[in-house]
Chain A
């Protein structure tokens, strides 16, 4: 197997986040000589972990300019590490930070990049990447001859590495790589990161680590059997279910678009919640769709959801049949009301 560079940015305390640990597992499974490249304000805990995992070399770029998740500085750091490592294959977790910076780095290095890789295996001595196309409607396995080949690995596709991971053999665990600090002059940047905007903790409806994805469809905003619309009750029921089940909220495109058009519907529902064609394809163990009647949430949004159930008034809904494990033909208002009482 060719030489591998794993790029990771560290957290504020110098550790590696879960996506980086997953990418470390992927790199170790591929089996080539591994160099780990670290970027961040502090790198020592991450470097110790990389050494324990068996990295032959550990390269790092540190310093205040490289603490900000910003294209110009991240690209400069990654480029310098990649040139110092000279690896043929460059792996990195598909974090927002690396997804922003590494395509430009691939161009600078004269290499190529593939994003959203969901699998990685050795084939005839070279890596082969699994990736989905047309919004998770078809899956391809691809290889490239160009080097360096940068691959961004989607989160949730590999087990995060830990010292208990079987591939941490005694020889690897005994690794004692020294950190080589790569000198990089921070490029002049006109961009300053000023902060993070996030909903208050009790209003956060997107929880990537939640076991359950609760998908709400446009049916919640339609007329109910009494001939009236019950948006306020829908809001309370959905938020109650999210709280009770500690679930993450997904929305169908039709429901999210209603919110975007300024109509008084589910104010907590934004495009960030949207799953499917023009939204995300989140990874959760379980998915429960309610009042959804379309292809997007059931086919595309659920591609990486393992166990799926739906509450739907249409027993013949072609999109939930064959895609869900169980379809409950029932009024979602009544079911979720009971659900909240039981979870309460």
Chain B
């Protein structure tokens, strides 16, 4: 979900990575959208995918975006689809031979919670993970773009606004610090000053 032009731009990069089918929604991707409305639009689009077996569905999405960072859209999308096995801040999923899968979720203090889910459906809000990006494959990109462009043209307009949400104010932080630049201090002097600063209450 995003403005069509932006989605097309993103697809130019992503389409070269892995084969996929795109279902696009033409709507705002701004930080000031509402996760409740976004989830409604996404769930509606997923429901409309022909032949989708929801009993086997693994729903993946970004955990927290860089724009709003709500961390709440996946949960509400999944709830609308009837998925109640959910994981957030996921760094790893490992599928086992019996079809169950182990999930590592970020929790406080730089730790991971380890869970085992016996079967889908499940929703996973993905964090950074441990894997590198897939390499670009121009052939995959060519094949994807044949279906991506028509999918973008078919993208339905979606709204992600909430009439009951009102922004009283939005402001940029104005604080500019008076920075003291020390160019001629010896490392030992600097270290002493830093130690004194660390020990200050």
Contact = CB atoms under 8 A, between A and B. Distances in A.
B132 A260 contact: yes
Given A100-B88, A197-B114, A324-B177, A106 B72 contact: yes
A328 B36 contact: no
A326 B180 CA distance: 5
Given A116-B69, A142-B168, A335-B194, 9 more contacts: A99-B71, A99-B88, A101-B75, A133-B68, A134-B67, A144-B162, A190-B122, A303-B173, A328-B182
A194 B115 contact: yes
Nearest to A17: B108
Nearest to B129: A271
- Secondary structure class of chain B's binding surface, majority of residues: mixed
A190 B179 contact: no
B26 interface: no
Nearest to B110: A206
Contacts of B91: 271
Interface of A: 69-72, 75, 95-97, 99-104, 106-108, 112-116, 123, 128, 133-135, 137-146, 187, 189-199, 204-208, 211-212, 245, 260-262, 271-274, 277-278, 286, 288, 303, 307-309, 311, 315, 320-331, 334-339, 341-343
A71 B112 contact: no
Nearest to A108: B79
B139 to A, nearest CB: 24
B76 A96 contact: no
Nearest to A199: B110
B104 interface: yes
Nearest to A299: B173
B119 A190 contact: yes
Interface string B180-201: 1111010110111011011000
A297 to B, nearest CB: 15
Contact of A271 (B74, B128, B198): B128
Contacts of B188: 338
B9 interface: no
B200 to A, nearest CB: 9
Interface stretch (B17-25, B27-35, B49-57, B142-150): B27-35
B134 interface: no
A326 B110 CA distance: 29
A327 B107 contact: no
Contact of A139 (B36, B89, B170): B170
A328 B168 contact: no
B187 A193 contact: no
B195 A141 contact: no
- Secondary structure class of chain A's binding surface, majority of residues: mixed
A107, A323, A338, most chain B CB atoms within 10 A: A107
Contact of A212 (B32, B105, B198): B198
A196 B113 contact: yes
Contact of A128 (B119, B168, B192): B168
Given A99-B71, A315-B181, A189 B176 contact: no
A123 B179 contact: no
A315 B85 contact: no
Interface string B160-173: 00101111111111
Given A143-B168, A328-B182, A194 B114 contact: yes
A321 B181 contact: yes
Contacts of A70: 115
A100, A101, A196, most chain B CB atoms within 10 A: A100
Interface in B86-113: 86-89, 91, 102, 104-113
B42 interface: no
B162 A146 contact: yes
Contacts of B84: 71-72, 75, 104, 187, 189
A139 B179 contact: no
A23 B72 CA distance: 19
A342 B196 CA distance: 10
B39 interface: yes
The 6 closest A-B pairs by CB, nearest first: A206-B110, A103-B72, A338-B191, A145-B164, A103-B75, A334-B187
B66 A277 contact: yes
16 contacts: A100-B86, A103-B35, A104-B86, A138-B172, A138-B173, A141-B167, A142-B168, A143-B166, A144-B165, A196-B113, A204-B110, A311-B190, A322-B176, A325-B180, A326-B179, A339-B191
